[in-house]
Amino acid sequence: MKTKTIAFNTLGCKLNFSETAAISRRFQDGQFREVGFHEVADIYVINSCTVTQNAEKRCRELIRKAMKTNPEAHVAVIGCYSQISPAGLAAIPGVALVLGNTEKYQLFDRLKELAYKPAQDNIVDVSDNTSEAFIPTYSTGERTRSFFKIQDGCDYKCAYCIIPKARGKSRSNTIAATLATAAEIAETSIKEMVLTGVNIGDFGKPQGETFHQLLKELAAMEKPERIRLSSVEPDLLTEEIIRLVAKEERLMPHFHIPLQSGSDSILRAMGRRYNTRLFADRVETIRKHIPHACIAADVIVGYPGETEELFRESLSFLSGMDVSYVHVFSYSERAQTRAADLTDKIHPKVIKDRAKTLQQLSDKKKQAFAEANKGLTTKVLWEKDRTGDHMSGFTENYIRVKTKYNENKVNTIEEVVLNITGKNGVYLV
């Protein structure tokens, strides 16, 4: 049988990257040869995102790009966009296969069916996404770190978010099964494991277990050397978890906490499950137990009903918070969400100006956080990527550090002293 060439492209979150890596490993059987998405391939696979309209637009652009590169190719679109808009995707010329979030793991077998289909026919398989099955995945494309999916789906019903419809209810494996998958990762050369999911703080709920219990068990493993948390909702980030991170050396002192707005009025309108007082308490608790921890916050600007007064309230709250930096997102209307029906929309230019203001605040906080760590002795995990004559890596508390490129340092952990600051919160050693 002739070896087919296959190319993968992933849009969206680290969770998607984790899943693409697991799916693509199935194709390492000799029947397929993986090539870059910009190259000529027999099959192009896009693991899609639907969190914003722009993400969907990017997916459609990639489909057109693939067909331009090879008009005879088959394009398979899988994941969240497929789950929400299967018919629309199937109607795009060149799309031969559309698989939802449950069906995407069948990609290897479903591609074989295309050989028996007339050229003009395609396959669309998208279920109602009520499955309670959980499939763990992890990435291995990077030598230094692995994104490990420990949880999927979400039971929260935020007014602006389509993800619960795209991924279904919150679910996860047992702690025992999760540890078994973590042991697989530990057998590789990976030095850092990043725990990811849609709402990882919800881990274990179906089994009566908790995220804290999982972290305790993971911290007791010998490898990998580092465990880093991805985003954890404020109402699920307990003091118990914070104390555990402070105690366990292998749990990195890095917290990513979604805030979304510094205005309680907007938080209520969004349907969030906390207020600014709770968020502030979480930041204060982290600083109490781990003074040098990195604390990142997500914020959405321009949500419907965000008046200038409410934006200034949010800006003032963030200015007073001891966070390390802010991920700024401009509100993007998403069909099939409650927020899409709201009438008090914010003008795009106003949203752009507010995002710029918040980004400037974030840049100042990032530089201040870096300066506050000056003189600190810490450890850096060096990455393989090379920029000119330099390489970079991250400290335990997620400060980027650059040094002269040395191939022997790739995927090693080195103790350094943070003395020379560069731009954008980066240190030079």
Residue 117 pLDDT? 59
- Is there a contact between 100 and 82 (Cβ–Cβ < 8 Å)? yes
Beta bridge partners, 147, equal 194
Q: Bigger pLDDT: 12 or 195?
A: 195
What CATH number does domain 4-125 carry, 3.40.50.2300, 3.40.50.1000, 1.20.1260.10, 3.60.15.10? 3.40.50.2300
User: Predicted confidence band at 118 (pLDDT cuts at 50, 70, 90)?
Assistant: low
Helix 211-219 × helix 175-186 angle, to 10°: 40
DSSP per-residue string spanning 201-228:
GGTTGGGT--HHHHHHHHHTSS-SSEEE
As given in the structure block, the two tokens for residue 298 are 């997500």
Report the predicted TM-score, pTM, of the whole model to 2 decimal places: 0.92
CATH class of the domain at 255-372: alpha beta
- pLDDT, residue 140, reads 82
Give the helix/strand (H/E) hosting 44: strand 43-48
The mean pLDDT of 412-427, rounded to a whole number, is: 88
Q: Which residue has the higher pLDDT, 405 or 386?
A: 405
What is the CATH number that goes with domain 133-252?
A: 3.30.750.210
> Looking at residues 24-41, what average pLDDT do you find?
90
Per-residue pLDDT of 146-155, as tens digits, reads 999 999 999 9
Q: What is the DSSP string of 243-277?
A: HHHHH-TTB-SEEEEEEE-S-HHHHHHHT-S--HH
Query: pLDDT tens digits for 277-316?
Result: 999 999 999 999 999 999 999 999 999 999 999 999 999 9
